[in-house]
Amino acid sequence: CKYIQRIVKDTGRVGVYYGDMGIDTWGEGRWLEELTGKKVMCMTAQVLLNALRHGVIFFETVALLVFDEAHHATKSHPFNSIMREFYFPARKAKSPLPRIFGMTASPIKVKCATEQFPFCIKSIQTIQVNLQARVVVVNNASQEAVDACIAKPDEFIIKYAPGEAVPQSDPDVED
């Protein structure tokens, strides 16, 4: 949300909402005041789910849903509840649907050994079905473009002799 606020020139058009703001006690008037004039609303999935359930945000007014950590879109997670309770019924009713962008660095919640491969495929397929999405990965050809945008840490190797004590902290490294 902070990144979006930085790049949107009129920050008054970006709303940020999370549970610790006391949102659960807001009435319709407060929500109307908050949402008026907003073009971008950043909120936790649970806040969006509650706002949809209480009718303070209408699903057909949502143009884009961005799900960060999309691998959580399973079982009773709010991502999945939003899809089951609002997206699928809207699609069935042929109502306007938002675009969905889900992202995760770890589409599978476990390390997949060869014998677990069918489970791993099933996990990816579950996310695709639940979010009505397809998994897209970075291929080697575009890895250079991705690498150009990522800050690389400075790496160094410190060798210790067998039995030599390893220091608890390095004075040259900031905590």
pLDDT tens by residue, 105-160: 777 766 666 667 777 788 888 888 999 988 887 677 677 777 777 777 788 787 77
Confidence bin at 21 (pLDDT 50/70/90):
very high
At 175 the pLDDT is 44
CA nearest to 87, candidates 142, 139, 45, 33: 45
CA nearest to 62, candidates 39, 46, 78: 39
CA nearest to 108, candidates 122, 130, 123: 123
pLDDT tens by residue, 158-173: 777 887 776 665 555 4
State both tokens at 64.
């884009």
At 108 the pLDDT is 73
Please tell me the pTM assigned to this model.
Answer: 0.74
Contact between 71 and 120 under an 8 Å Cβ cutoff? The reply is no
Q: Which amino acid is at 78?
A: P
Q: What is the DSSP letter of 141?
A: H
At 9 the pLDDT is 74
pLDDT tens by residue, 35-62: 888 889 999 999 999 999 999 999 999 9
